[in-house]
A and B are shown apart, each in its own frame.
Chain A
Amino acid sequence: MAILLGILRPLQVVLDHVLRLGRALAIVAIALMVVCILLQVFMRYMLNNALPWPEEAARFLMLWMTGLIAPSAYRRGGFVAIDMLTLMLPRSLAAGLSLVLLLLSGAVLVMGIELGQRHVTSGWMFASSSLRLPLEWVGMEGFKIKLAWMYLSLYTGLILLLAVNVELILRSLVAMLGQESRLRPMLDGSLRVE
């Protein structure tokens, strides 16, 4: 038990901070997405000059928004599932089933991370068609952004989801051992997921 709690507590603290940062960045990302698309519309109609990059930039931001904030949703129980069976089963059986499901989800995530690594590696070979870092503005040489920077969004999201999954598994083990009272409340309560 001491070992379980010994791993769980620091993990929770790290996740609290990392996911808060993730949410903050996701907020910036969604706001910038709106700005990119409005800029695109404005340039097309007002200045008659369709820019090549806003659409891809907005997709880049949307992917990162998803990767950075989805783990917070998972932590708050926001992933859609049919939980009727767990509600109907006796407590101990339901706890066992939840643990199995968490382990299965974890296996999917581990597999995903392994595949993601290959995906990201392949992304260093190709550059984006329209996104470039205009370093010539500061007197340096500009360059096109590698696709790997986009691919990293899902990969990062999966790693964070796995961290949350491990947290949920540890919590579930502690609860199964009858020590639920030693767990802190799951949510920090600032946000709801619908």
Chain B
Amino acid sequence: MLIWFLPLFLLFLMLGLPVFFGMLAAPGILLLLNGQERDLSLLYRNVYNGMDSFPLMAIPFFMLAGELMNRGGITLRLVEFSQAMMGHFRGGLAHVNVLSSMLFAGLSGSAVADTSALGSMLIPAMEREGYTRRFAAAITAASSVIGPIIPPSGIMIIYAYVMGESVAALFLAGIVPGILVGLGLMGMVKVMADRYDFPASRAKATWPERGQASLKAFFPLLTPVIILGGILGGVFTPTEAAAVAVAYAILIGMFVLRTLSLRDLPEVLSRAAMTSAVVLLLVGAAMAFKTVVSLSHAPEQLAAYILALSENPLILLFLINLLLFVVGMFLDAGPAIIILGPILGPIFVSLGIDPIHFAIIMSVNLTVGLATPPMGLVLFVASSVSGERVETISKAILPFLAVEILVIFLITFFPALSMTIPRLAGFVN
């Protein structure tokens, strides 16, 4: 009987009930019908206990750090640095867009922050150089998905918490896939630049110019070193590293670059608090949902169904990637991971897939889903930043999505791509 909570939940979701309420309503109704009223208070307690977590605190902190860096002119320094390095190639600004996203990804864990920060700066600049607005918006949206793949990553913190994995291991496993997405996008830009005769953005920078741009971007670029170095060196927990990143962003924004003032802080704090409150409530609901998932034996039944399709893990991984991709088209990465992680994770781990490898497949696939039509969140952000219609951007983004899908399959079928760094660091056997 209880197993019906899953279809009921999907129905609620399709009807448009907010995920938070759906995750509680569907199991709640079935527990009531099943006469298990006492388990309802378990549901409530798990929402609370799910939110009451120290590792989860990294989410508001990383969001805050990203907001502060954005406000503090750090984004501009990253773009100038990328410009000095890659601006002279044909399709220079498109390359700059991708490289800036990769660098920004080391400071922030959110694709939305990436699109709005880089898009508002680079889309008008690209238009001035003769790119179409839809192309500029599409490459901005496509490259912004690197944000949550390269550490730090909000989605990976959520996954690690809900599934009991190591945040550091997931962060490390995201590095190569993130770089691969970036290089793949640059490759596609190069192909298109040759074909459509894109302009170079500037003459080749001299080494002194490059040195100067690097110097100006030195402090922002040090952030990922502090975060990852601190976590891996055992100096900080990920939550502490995130708090240090906040302090660092305030310090360089206020005292080094002098682009951030005390007056900016309330709005920045408020935005970070509001966005993370929604995520925290969702994670709380997910922990309650997870309890019902195990009470209902849904993973066992689903596992039997999935194994009936094939017993070959590679074929199943292929199929699951298709499923995740479709889910990603309609649902944001965070909620999708929260819902599907507890259901799918145990099935694939029992098939012999390393939990970290599966986590990366899920994270990258659902993150790419942020840029897939019809409901990709960053498409909407890119649309509001650029003024281009979502439908138009959705068409222009297709070649870039093809590259990203290719990367998803590469990391699925070549585990060494994502697993080598965590293995070398001793997180995986």
Contact = CB atoms under 8 A, between A and B. Distances in A.
Contacts of B40: 111, 115
A79 B236 contact: no
Which among A23, A104, A150, A151 has the greatest number of chain B C-beta atoms within 10 A? Answer: A104
Contacts of B28: 108, 111
B352 interface: no
How many B residues touch the partner, as a band? 35 or more
Interface stretch (A4-12, A70-78, A129-137, A172-180): A70-78
B153 to A, nearest CB: 16
Interface in A17-33: 23, 26-27, 29-31, 33
Interface in A56-72: 58-59, 62-63, 65-66, 69-70, 72
Given A72-B274, A111-B40, A55 B25 contact: no
A59 B49 CA distance: 11
Contacts of B233: none
A101 B47 CA distance: 21
B347 interface: no
Contact of B57 (A62, A73, A193): A62
Interface stretch (B9-17, B289-297, B309-317): B9-17
Contact of A154 (B19, B51, B54, B375): B51
Interface residues of A, number: 56
Contacts, number: 174
B421 interface: no
A85 B274 contact: no
Contacts of A182: none
Contact of A97 (B15, B61, B330, B374): B15
B337 interface: no
A33 B375 contact: no
Contact of B19 (A79, A107, A119): A79
Interface string B1-39: 000000000001111111111001100100000000000
A78 B335 CA distance: 13
Contacts of B239: 37
A34 B247 contact: yes
B278 A82 contact: no
A34 B64 contact: yes
A22 to B, nearest CB: 10
A105 interface: yes
Contacts of A41: 236, 240, 243-244
Interface in B320-358: 330-332, 334-335
A116 B44 contact: yes
A49 interface: no
B273 interface: yes
B381 A82 contact: no
Contact of A63 (B16, B52, B265, B330): B52
Contacts of A86: 16
A29 B51 contact: no
Contact of B18 (A40, A69, A72, A105): A105
A80 interface: yes
A26 B17 contact: no
Nearest to A78: B278
Nearest to A36: B243
B240 to A, nearest CB: 5
Q: Which 9 A-B pairs have the closest CB atoms?
A: A37-B243, A79-B18, A115-B44, A70-B277, A81-B18, A105-B21, A66-B277, A27-B269, A30-B273
Given A37-B243, A98-B16, 19 more contacts: A26-B270, A30-B273, A34-B246, A58-B57, A59-B53, A62-B60, A66-B281, A73-B274, A73-B275, A79-B18, A80-B20, A80-B278, A80-B331, A82-B13, A82-B331, A101-B16, A101-B17, A105-B25, A192-B271
